[in-house]
Structure 1
Amino acid sequence: MEKLPILQFEEKIVETVKKNAVTVLIGETGSGKSTQLSQILFRHGFADSGTICVTQPRRVAAVSVARRVAQEMGVRLGEEVGYAIRFEDRTSTKTRIKYLTDGVLLRESLSDPELSSYSVIILDEAHERSLNMDILMGLVKRLVGIRSSSNFRVLITSATLEGEKVSAFFDGCPVLNVPGKLFPVEVIYTDDVNKNFVEAALKKAIDIHVKEPEGDILIFMTGQEDIERLVQKLEDRVRSLEEGSVMDAVIYPLHGSLPPELQVRVFSPPPKNCRRFIVATNIAETSLTVDGVVYVIDSGYVKQRQYNPQTGMYSLDVVQISRVQANQRAGRAGRTRPGKCYRLYPSVVYNDDFMEAAVPEIQRTSLAGSVLYLKSLDLPGIDILKFDFLDPPSYASLGDALRQLYLIDGIDENGAITSVGRIMAELPLEPSLSRTLIAANENGTLSQALTIAAMLSAETSLLPSFAKGSEKKRKHTPLKLPDGGGLGDHIQLLQIFESWSETKYDIEWCKEYGLQIRGMSFVKDVRGQLCQLLQKMAKCSTDVHGSHKSREKKMGYRNLRKALCVGYANQLAERMMRHNGYRTLGLKSQLVQVHPSSVLQPDEDGMLPNYVVYHELITTSSPFMRNICTVDMQWISPILKKLEKLDINKLSGGFTDSEGGIEGKGQEGLKKEATVEDPAVRDSKINAARERFLARKGKK
């Protein structure tokens, strides 16, 4: 094994950790901190009184690093060294070093608030500033005080994080700096901004392949769609090169939605006289290290989900990376020998347009799940609006999360977590889906709701894509899928899975209908694990494996849609008086459309159902509701009544108006925003609009 830089600091690290409850370790790219730090502590007895826990921001990293450490220690993965990610746990009673995602560690703290099974907690890759990481930093800060009499130790490790800032957060803890093992990297900028960075990356990659000596090429793209496009184009272009004129090439995609067996291919060395092209998302910036990379092509962009708490809407935006990210990408080219980084943007863009560091996830995502988690801990004197975060989110974001939880019964009007909320917090699902399962359990439709929850938990699109150019790749047109019976996308997803189950989960059936095979298999596994979890929790009063399919069909899936209405109380929409438009109820008032992929279509008069719930609001080319389902008017009244009692300060855990509410709004402002029109008046207006619409069409 190569001598990694961190090993030269082994004695200094051990000495510092022994003397301090918290240590910040800044380990540059290539220092070996992710694989070696846990082994260093293990060698020096830190695992004698408990397990060494190492968090990772991504599942791919947790699995791959655990594999590497197990291999280096000469043990079987799952025994002395193991990993735990959502819906998969490869650990045992023998496990002394455990890699896990930060989300899994948060979930473990629900059943063991003091995380007593761990002697050391290493929060790795903290510079990525994931939502869970920021919450964990706040929690372990409290935990250090609670476990001060023990030998409990916390290490915060990062490639680029501002060490002094984190040190100040942890009351002046020591900061250790470990240099990386990097060779010089020549950075080459383009003269102009490339609007089509896929084509620009393709041209540059082929140019390198033809002109430059051996060495693998790592290309940073924004997401799965761009990666797949570029991989296809690269394959076509490499095949078109004259045989014998250049070395052979293999081309690998690398993103979080790939199955593990395809992800690990990139870690295997290529055949002799063969160059690897690795087309990756920002997952390859720091979480994973691919040896052999000599050339990096940096598009300068990343795909990022951003949440607007005022509208409750997500946007999936392609945004510029930060200077820190750009430097991390460049560093990937200098791991094994001097390399080159080709930036598909001018130096003036890097210097003038890029931010120094990326915006932390906690400041750009919905916090409902995180706030529910914090409420469930029953920490004494906790006020969500005043929780100790490294970089606090806005009051608007926290207030939005509290409102969501109140509407779906996760917390009561005084901000106390309810019995329903406690069950929701134990489930590894977003709050709306957890609440739906609880409601479905009460009305006898849990089996169907479990299927819907699993289908919506898939990380990739399950249904056939009819994107431009996709038809020519198909050998045949897929058969027609179930259409949801006019009730919406949730019902369609249920019908698809049930139809597949009737074939005993035949893969050929998925192929015939153009469904994503790996995604459907993932759904089947997730559903099974959710069933086991519910049975283990003893929270279900019906057979989770059973089916009420025939009864539900006869009832028009009424009880199931009622459960969805309860779970998605914060995501309720009413029809606007315009073709194919919707307006959300409550505090939001933006116009959005039904996503083009939805099976819920206007009737022959161009009218949509009066009320729907949606799984997600997202802005792409326009604001869209994605995955929607019809609900009945009488189910909505309880939601409207709850809005009348809404008081954000009380929901937070505080009981004063001294802060003026969210972003300075007084309670009067909040109540005014919460006022909604009487449903009868609304329906009258809708009917009037319908009459005018029909008149314009000449049907009246």
Structure 2
Amino acid sequence: MTAKELPIWPFRQTILDTVFKHPITVIIGETGSGKTTQIAQMLDKAYCAREGCIGVTQPRRVAALTVARRVAEEMRCEVGQEVGYRVRFEERTSRRTRIVYLTDGTLLREMLDDPELSAYSVIVLDEAHERSLNTDVLFGVLKSLVKTRQKPLKLILTSATLDSAKFSAYFDGCPVLNIPGRQYEVQIVHSQGNHENDYLAAAVDTALDIHLHQPPGDILVFLTGQAEIDKAVKQLSEAIAELPEDSCPDLLILPLYAAMPLELQARVFAPPPDGCRRLIMATNIAETSITVDGVVYVVDPGMVKQKSYTPATGMESLHVVPISRVQATQRAGRAGRVCNGKCYRLYTAQFFEREMSETTVPEIQRTNMLTAVLYLKSLPLDIDVLAFDYLDSPGSEALEDALRQLLILDALDRDGHITELGRRMAALPLEPSLARSLLAAADHDCLPETLTAAAMLSAETIFLGNRQGELSEQGRAALAELMKEGLGDHILMLRIFQAWERNSFSSKWCKDMGLDVRGMHFAREVRKQLADLGSCKSQARGGLCLAGVDALRRALLVGFANRLARRMPRHNGYKTLNERATLAQLHPATARIAADEDGLMPEFVIYYALFATAKVFLSKVCPMDSEWVEDILPKLRNIDVERLSGGMTTKKAAKRAAVVGDLSEKQVVKNVPVANARKNDLAAVDAARQRYLARKSDKKK
């Protein structure tokens, strides 16, 4: 389909006129209208790129890369020339680049170096309805920047499904353009019963039934994650194999998820052989971020895997939950791109109307705000994160939790001001705990090793499936040798990378060890880019002595001081040391950790994640020596959140100040012994603990 055949084409002049007249424009274009690929090209042809690049954000890395390639093909240029992309740890642009596709997180990071975004004349926030955390932060930051930047900046928000009145009101009454989308009708077919508990089997059965009994056209099935997709592909393949010979037409089954290697993703977009139908099993990245031409049938189980975060406990939960009606509409729209299509919803019409929420809860209201608050504090805009102009506020509890964590990581001082360490942390393309570990590594003379650990932890996947279940006996023995120190996941990851390096970065070695080749190469590239930032120019040492391992662990302790857990006195359960202590177990996939002669695990560990499924688990764990933790514990005590969050700038603190102002000097003095009593209590606890450790030491002797 050419650009002139897309629904957006007749509206190009209206779009340009509106954008030129107004600083902010909202464009609602239905699925298939061409907004993602065409708006930037329209602006480019109207010479908008003369004053700076046209930046188009995407919520996902894979979408930024895919759309950049598509637009470069339409403009008959190579990616990196007139059209390029920027994502974390990867960039293809040049001085000729006029249109840049980038993730919303990448644009937010660019503001740390250039708060005015002087390289851009237009910013397009695409797929705004997905309400990713970074996009929501950009809403507030760019809304302010449009008003204050001396050189005009145009902001455009695009989506297929958006609450136009809400967004227009938030952006000071900006105009809203509605672009018709689908050229073809989509018939919605609801099931007679809901399949919440057996949606995977129902999706497989429905897809097979479509293939056997419906006219030609590709099938798109939505599932919740990689493991589920792999299971469905296996079930469908087995079902087809059991059918009588020649009773089933040719079917090409293709998985699609974000962690898939690019060369395998490319197979999804390639046309199938003649007479062969494609069946794509995808996560929700196929709702909006990626368009697969040729889809006529959509199977929608109505479920999605959603992450939520509890600030008080620091615990993440990953649950399969019903999608929103907005998401259901997005999914159905995928069926009407090339001809009349059908969407098979594996839930009733009553469930759609009464049980599904209208919109998805924004990520900003269900995620850890640590990274976002660090970025906001690092911007030279004097931002009060509690009073920031959010479209939907994340809530004071989530923001105070982030401020508390940043204080523990030395990114903020006691008054909530960004420190020099905090600015350096924000400048690194890593989540704050890893960034802090990397900065601490220089003090502990273990920077090369910490670079490796940080890179390995940044990869989405290192191990394929069950860590040891699918390994040969030789592979299990090799893995056991790498874990012989019994120092947990971080040290195992270091040893794996070093062993891979000794084996000349062999892909075969990775497969023999049950490692994900793509994940390992990604970690290697991340490590190289981190080292090239100037923090470290030396090469990693071939081996690492015990003292070096201890140095790495101490650097990790500094970075993960906000994720410490302490073993219970008489068993191997752990209790976290955050605001609200939470009982948790080591995840079964945790690398070997050596126990003492009584079978007890180390007293203290750091963890990469605390999450709940059927049980609460600590994931990616590294043990810490008790004497090291003694230096960290004072950071976790007596944190004044009101002072940290700005004190007089918050309503709560202002109210408290008014109350304190009414107190007499005598009343205020009376409060002092209470504070001292609290300190004495802590000292008594510490003294008791030291006595316990001394008795334990004597017992061992």
Structures share a fold, TM > 0.5? yes
Partner of 2:560: 568
Q: How does 1:496-535 map to 2 (within 5 A)?
A: 496-533=496-533, 535=534
Partner of 1:647: 640
Which letter does structure 2 place at the counterpart of 1:457? S
Partner of 1:341: 343
Partner of 1:636: 629
Residues 375 and 416 of structure 1 are in contact (CA less than 8 Å); yes or no, is this contact kept in structure 2?
yes
Q: SS state of the match for residue 48, structure 1?
A: helix
Corresponding residue to 1:659 among 639, 645, 652: 652
Query: How many Å separate the matches in 1 of 2:297 and 2:690?
Result: 62
Q: How does 1:126-525 map to 2 (within 5 A)?
A: 126-147=128-149, 149-194=150-195, 195-380=197-382, 382-462=383-463, 465=466, 471=470, 478-481=476-479, 482-483=482-483, 485-525=485-525
Deviation at 1:170, TM superposition (A): 1.1
Which letter does structure 2 place at the counterpart of 1:95? T
Cα 1:687–1:487, aligned 2, differ >3 Å: closer, same or farther? farther
1:473-501 deviation digits (Å, cap 9, x = unpaired)? 98986543111612221111111111111
Query: How many Å separate the matches in 2 of 1:563 and 1:277?
Result: 48
Cα 1:662–1:132, aligned 2, differ >3 Å: closer, same or farther? farther
Query: How many Å separate the matches in 2 of 1:671 and 1:175?
Result: 59
Larger CA deviation: 228-237 vs 609-618: 228-237
Residues 640 and 676 of structure 1 are in contact (CA less than 8 Å); yes or no, is this contact kept in structure 2?
no
1:402-439 deviation digits (Å, cap 9, x = unpaired)? 01110010111111111111110011111000000000
1:611-652 deviation digits (Å, cap 9, x = unpaired)? 111111111221100011111223223433233442223222
Cα 1:495–1:635, aligned 2, differ >3 Å: closer, same or farther? same
Which letter does structure 2 place at the counterpart of 1:299? P
Query: How many Å separate the matches in 2 of 1:519 and 1:163?
Result: 40
Query: How many Å separate the matches in 1 of 2:439 and 2:579?
Result: 25
Partner of 1:73: 75
1:255-295 deviation digits (Å, cap 9, x = unpaired)? 10011121122112211111001000000011111111111
Cα 1:321–1:544, aligned 2, differ >3 Å: closer, same or farther? farther
Q: SS state of the match for residue 565, structure 2?
A: strand
Cα 1:687–1:322, aligned 2, differ >3 Å: closer, same or farther? farther
Residues 462 and 520 of structure 2 are in contact (CA less than 8 Å); yes or no, is this contact kept in structure 1?
no
Larger CA deviation: 168-177 vs 473-482: 473-482
Query: How many Å separate the matches in 2 of 1:569 and 1:385?
Result: 24
Larger CA deviation: 174-183 vs 243-252: 243-252
Which letter does structure 2 place at the counterpart of 1:494? L
Deviation at 1:525, TM superposition (A): 1.2
Residues 416 and 646 of structure 2 are in contact (CA less than 8 Å); yes or no, is this contact kept in structure 1?
yes
The answer for unaligned runs of 5 or more in structure 2 is: 661-670
Cα 1:444–1:203, aligned 2, differ >3 Å: closer, same or farther? same
Q: SS state of the match for residue 514, structure 2?
A: coil
Which letter does structure 2 place at the counterpart of 1:416? H
Cα 1:457–1:680, aligned 2, differ >3 Å: closer, same or farther? farther
Deviation at 1:182, TM superposition (A): 3.9
Deviation at 1:62, TM superposition (A): 0.5
1:529-555 deviation digits (Å, cap 9, x = unpaired)? 11112x1xxx44xx44232x64x4232
Which letter does structure 2 place at the counterpart of 1:19? K
Query: Once superposed, what is the RMSD of the aligned Cα atoms?
Result: 2.7
Query: How many Å separate the matches in 2 of 1:530 and 1:626?
Result: 24
Query: How many Å separate the matches in 2 of 1:390 and 1:673?
Result: 40
Partner of 2:668: none
The answer for unaligned runs of 5 or more in structure 1 is: none
Which letter does structure 1 place at the counterpart of 2:636? L
Cα 1:638–1:608, aligned 2, differ >3 Å: closer, same or farther? same
Deviation at 1:320, TM superposition (A): 1.0
Which letter does structure 2 place at the counterpart of 1:499? A
The aligned length equals 678
Q: SS state of the match for residue 361, structure 2?
A: coil
Residues 64 and 264 of structure 1 are in contact (CA less than 8 Å); yes or no, is this contact kept in structure 2?
no
Q: SS state of the match for residue 222, structure 1?
A: coil
Larger CA deviation: 420-429 vs 555-564: 555-564
Which letter does structure 2 place at the counterpart of 1:84? R
Cα 1:498–1:475, aligned 2, differ >3 Å: closer, same or farther? closer
Give yes or no for the alignment of 1:579 onto 2:586.
no
Deviation at 1:461, TM superposition (A): 4.2
Q: SS state of the match for residue 5, structure 1?
A: coil
Partner of 1:681: 688
Which letter does structure 2 place at the counterpart of 1:595? H
Query: How many Å separate the matches in 2 of 1:645 and 1:418?
Result: 20
Q: How does 1:569-648 map to 2 (within 5 A)?
A: 569-598=561-590, 599-600=592-593, 602-603=595-596, 605-648=598-641
Query: How many Å separate the matches in 1 of 2:16 and 2:585?
Result: 58
Which letter does structure 2 place at the counterpart of 1:681? A
Query: How many Å separate the matches in 1 of 2:190 and 2:475?
Result: 44
Larger CA deviation: 630-639 vs 610-619: 630-639
1:47-85 deviation digits (Å, cap 9, x = unpaired)? 111111000001111011111111111111110001111
Partner of 2:663: none
Q: SS state of the match for residue 480, structure 1?
A: helix
Which letter does structure 2 place at the counterpart of 1:106? L
Q: SS state of the match for residue 43, structure 2?
A: helix
Cα 1:309–1:192, aligned 2, differ >3 Å: closer, same or farther? same
Residues 307 and 365 of structure 1 are in contact (CA less than 8 Å); yes or no, is this contact kept in structure 2?
yes
Residues 7 and 183 of structure 2 are in contact (CA less than 8 Å); yes or no, is this contact kept in structure 1?
no
Residues 449 and 560 of structure 1 are in contact (CA less than 8 Å); yes or no, is this contact kept in structure 2?
yes
Deviation at 1:186, TM superposition (A): 1.8
Give yes or no for the alignment of 1:42 onto 2:44.
yes
Give yes or no for the alignment of 1:553 onto 2:545.
yes
Identity %: 50
Which letter does structure 2 place at the counterpart of 1:334? G
Query: How many Å separate the matches in 2 of 1:612 and 1:579?
Result: 14
TM-score, scaled to structure 2: 0.92
Q: SS state of the match for residue 186, structure 1?
A: strand
Residues 484 and 491 of structure 1 are in contact (CA less than 8 Å); yes or no, is this contact kept in structure 2?
no
Which letter does structure 2 place at the counterpart of 1:480? A
Query: How many Å separate the matches in 2 of 1:688 and 1:180?
Result: 74
Query: How many Å separate the matches in 2 of 1:512 and 1:564?
Result: 29
Q: SS state of the match for residue 340, structure 1?
A: strand
Residues 577 and 689 of structure 1 are in contact (CA less than 8 Å); yes or no, is this contact kept in structure 2?
no
Residues 456 and 462 of structure 2 are in contact (CA less than 8 Å); yes or no, is this contact kept in structure 1?
no
Residues 80 and 97 of structure 1 are in contact (CA less than 8 Å); yes or no, is this contact kept in structure 2?
yes
Residues 647 and 653 of structure 2 are in contact (CA less than 8 Å); yes or no, is this contact kept in structure 1?
no
Cα 1:411–1:673, aligned 2, differ >3 Å: closer, same or farther? farther
TM-score, scaled to structure 1: 0.92
Which letter does structure 1 place at the counterpart of 2:135? M
1:416-467 deviation digits (Å, cap 9, x = unpaired)? 1111111100111110000000001221101111111111111124265159
Query: How many Å separate the matches in 2 of 1:687 and 1:619?
Result: 36
